[in-house]
Amino acid sequence: MSETVKKEKEDFKKLYEGIQNDVVRERIRASGEWYIERATKYKRIFFILSAIGIIAPLLVTVIISAGLNHTDGGSDMAVRIVIAACSALASFSSTFMVVLKCKEKWTNYRNTVEQIKSELVYYSIDEETDCERLKKLVDRTEKIMREEHGRWNEILMMQKINETEIIASTEKIKGKQADIERTE
Any idea where the domains of the chain sit in the sequence? 3-183
- pLDDT for position 130: 87
Q: Are 39 and 12 in contact (CB under 8 A)?
A: no
pLDDT > 90? residue 177: no
| 129 vs 32, residue with greater confidence | 32
The answer to which of 18-22, 26-30, 127-131, 133-137 has the lowest mean pLDDT is: 127-131
- Label each residue of the chain as H, E or C: CCHHHHHHHHHHHHHHCCCCCHHHHHHHHHHHHHHHHHHHHHHHHHHHHHHHHHHHHHHHHHHHHCCHHHCCCCHHHHHHHHHHHHHHHHHHHHHHHHHHCHHHHHHHHHHHHHHHHHHHHHHHHCCCCHHHHHHHHHHHHHHHHHHHHHHHHHHHHHHHHHHHHHHHHHHHHHHHHHHHHHHC
pLDDT > 60? residue 73: no
- pLDDT for position 99: 85
179, amino acid identity = D
